[in-house]
Structure 1
C-alpha cells in the first residue's frame, strides 16, 4: 500500500488554519516526513527518526541554496538543516509557504507563524538531515547578522513580558458584539417588518457584524485564543465559514503566503491583482514593455473605487468556491467531538441556511440573496481599504531575500492609534507589529510598538505611522503612480 493511502492523504495543498494534531495525524506526518528524508538521500533508507548528533551531515550555505526547487526543498531553522520536500504538500499553511523559503534561513518566520512550537517539533524531527558547518554564519552571508540578532532579542523580551498570552475576555467581548448584532437584526425585523428604512438599517448592522467577524476570524486563524487547538479551529470555522460564508482553507492558503513574503511579487497573492491592477515599480513596467493592456492602467486609481464593492462578493467568493472544489470539500472529514472538523462546504452551507431561515420569511429567496450580496458589497469597501492602506503604498518588489524584520517593515505601515481606529480596523492599524508577531493577540500591539520603533531607529529602518485618511489617500496616490509607470513603458518607442 502506498504511503498516501496509509495516511488517508488527499494530496490537497492546504490543511486547516489550526491543524488538529492528534495521534493519527502525527503518525501520518512522521511517515510522510520519512519519505521526504528518503528522497533527500541524507538519512538512512528506512527513514529512522533518531539520528545521533555526531552523525549529522554539515553543510555550507552555497550547498543549501541550491535546494530551492519545487521538487527539492531545504530550510535552515536555528542552524539545523531540514529537507521538507516530502512534507511540503501536507503543510497546513500550504505548500507555497515552504517553497517561498526553500534554500533560505527560515528561523524567524518559523518562530513567527507557529503558536505551538512543542507540537511543531514533532513534524521537524523526521525532516532533520544535518546542520550548518561550524564556520558558517547562522543566516545567509548578505544579511545583517546584528539586525537579526537584535530582532531575536526583541522577541525574547516580548515573550518574557507575556505579550503572546491571549486575554480570553477581550475576544469574548468581540464575539458577544457580533452575536448581539445578529440577534438585534432578527428582533428588528420581527418588530418592524421589512420596510425600506428597516432594511437599510439592518443592512448597516449586518455590515458591522460581518466586518467584525472578519477581524475576529483573523485572530482565530493566527493565534491560540484557547489553549486547545481544536477549539481555535472550531472558532475559526464558525467565524469564517458560518458567519461570513467563505472557506477557511482558502483564507489559510493565501493569507500565510502574504505574511511570509509580503509585497514580494509574485509570491504574495495580495499583490497579484492582474488583470485589473498593476502594482509596484516593476510589474507596471513589465506589463508596459510587453504591451499588455487589459485595461487602461493609467486610470486604475479612478476605477479603483468603482471596483471595490464587488471585490468580496465576486472575486473573493469565487476564489473561495474554487478552493472548496479543488479540495473536494463535499463531505465530513472528522465528525467527532475530538476534532470538530466538518469540511468547509458544510460550514459555508450553514451560512446560507441560516440566512434563508432568518430572512426568507421577510424577503423571500431572491430578496435574501440580494441582501447578502449588498452587505458583502459594503463590507468589501470597508475591508479592502483597511487591508490595503498598509501595503499598496509601501515597497513592492521582486524577491531579494531580506531578513525578517526588514521584509515586514518595508512592506507595511501603521495607522495612528485611537479608540475608533482600533475598533474600525480590528487593530490592523498596528500592521507592523502584527506582521512581525502574527501570533500575538492584537490587544498587545500597542504595548510592543515602542520597542519595535526603537529597534527600527537603531538600524535606520523607517517606521511609518500615518493618519487614517492619509493612509486611505495613499492607496489612490500609489495606484496613480504605478499607472503612470505602466503608461511610460507602454508608449515608449
Structure 2
C-alpha cells in the first residue's frame, strides 16, 4: 500500500477510535460506569480532555439542558444552532441567501458535519477561556489546549507539511461525521415543543426521541445512543442495560398511549434530511402531526 494511502487510512482509524472515546466520556459523564460520582466525573474529564481534546464541562452544561427539555425551542440548545434552522420562525429571520440555504440545509447537513470536529474543539476552548472561568475550568483549559497543541505539533514534526495537513483534515472530518451521524437521528425531525409548553416527564422524553433499530454493530457504531428513548428516561443507566429494558419501556408506553418511535438507521437519515429541507417551506406548521396532537392533549391535561 502506498505510504500516502496508509497515512490517510491511519487518520480515519484514529478518528473512529476517538469517536468511541467520546462515547465513553459521554457514558462516564452520565455516571454510568462507576458507583462513585467522583470517579465517573474524573474519568469523563480524562477521556474528553486528555484524549479527545474536548471540554467535558462545556459539554455537560449543554447536554444537561438538552436532557431537561429535548426539542423545546426556548430551552434545548441543540435546536438553537446558528448554522441550521429548525423552525419556520428561524428561517423567516434570515436574509435571501439564508433562506436559500435553509431550503437545502438537509442536503448540506452531513457535509457540514465534516466541520463538527473543529466546532467541538473550538467551543470547548471558548467555554474554558471565558472571563468567569473557575480554577477547575482553568486547569481543564490547560489540559485541553495542551492536548490539541501537542497533537498538531506532533503531526507536523513527524510528517511533511502536506501529509500532516491531510492527516489532520481527514481525521477531524471523519470524527465530526461519525459523531454527528450518531447524534443526528435521535431527535431531529421529531416534534418541536413550543416555548413555555409544560409536559409530564414521560411524554417530554419519549415523544421527542427516536430509537434506531439494529444489532450489535449498530449499538457499537452509535455508542448505545440508538436506544435514545431509554437513555432519556434513565440517563444514568449503563449502556448495555438499555437493550434489556427496551421491551419494558415499549410496553409501558403502549399501555399509556404514548407513541414510541423506532426506525432503521438510513430511514432516520432520510427523515432528518427531509425535515431540514422543508423547515419554513409550504407554510408548514412543525406542530401539525399526530405526535403534536398528543403534545397538545398532554399540555391541556397539565393545565386543567
Q: What is the TM-score normalised by the length of structure 1?
A: 0.53
1:278 has 2:74 as partner: no
Q: Specify the alignment match of 2:292 in structure 1.
A: none
Residues 1:343 and 1:457: Cα distance change in structure 2 (over 3 Å): same
Q: Specify the alignment match of 1:444 in structure 2.
A: 241
By how many angstroms is 1:486 displaced? 6.3
SS of 2:219's equivalent in the other structure is helix
Q: Counterparts of 1:250 and 1:293 in 2: how far apart (Å)?
A: 33
**Candidates 325, 329, 334, aligned match of 2:129:** 325
Q: Counterparts of 2:51 and 2:205 in 1: how far apart (Å)?
A: 30
Residues 1:232 and 1:364: Cα distance change in structure 2 (over 3 Å): farther
**Bigger CA drift: 223-232 or 430-439?**
223-232
Tell me how large the CA RMSD over aligned residues is: 2.6
1:267 has 2:75 as partner: yes
**1:231-263 superposed Cα distances (whole Å, 9 cap, x missing partner):** 222211111111111111110110100000000
Residues 1:306 and 1:464: Cα distance change in structure 2 (over 3 Å): same
* Contact 1:284 1:485 (8 Å CA) reproduced: no
**Candidates 33, 40, 58, aligned match of 1:225:** 33
Q: Specify the alignment match of 1:306 in structure 2.
A: 111
1:419 has 2:216 as partner: yes
Residues 1:307 and 1:486: Cα distance change in structure 2 (over 3 Å): farther
* Contact 2:69 2:76 (8 Å CA) reproduced: yes
**1:402-448 superposed Cα distances (whole Å, 9 cap, x missing partner):** 00110011110101130110010011110000001101101100111
Matches within 5 A, 1:478-489: 478-485=275-282
SS of 2:193's equivalent in the other structure is coil
Q: Counterparts of 1:294 and 1:486 in 2: how far apart (Å)?
A: 19
Q: Indicate the structure with greater helix content.
A: 2
Matches within 5 A, 1:445-460: 445-460=242-257
* Contact 1:415 1:429 (8 Å CA) reproduced: yes
SS of 1:484's equivalent in the other structure is coil
Residues 1:485 and 1:284: Cα distance change in structure 2 (over 3 Å): farther
* Contact 1:285 1:486 (8 Å CA) reproduced: no
How many pairs does the alignment contain?
282
* Contact 2:22 2:52 (8 Å CA) reproduced: yes
* Contact 2:53 2:145 (8 Å CA) reproduced: yes
By how many angstroms is 1:195 displaced? 2.4
Q: Counterparts of 1:244 and 1:372 in 2: how far apart (Å)?
A: 14
Q: Counterparts of 1:366 and 1:405 in 2: how far apart (Å)?
A: 52
Residues 1:373 and 1:291: Cα distance change in structure 2 (over 3 Å): closer
By how many angstroms is 1:268 displaced? 0.4
**1:92-137 superposed Cα distances (whole Å, 9 cap, x missing partner):** xxxxxxxxxxxxxxxxxxxxxxxxxxxxxxxxxxxxxxxxxxxxxx
**Bigger CA drift: 459-468 or 364-373?**
364-373
Larger radius of gyration: 1
Q: Counterparts of 1:389 and 1:454 in 2: how far apart (Å)?
A: 22
Q: Counterparts of 1:231 and 1:414 in 2: how far apart (Å)?
A: 29
Q: Counterparts of 2:91 and 2:8 in 1: how far apart (Å)?
A: 42
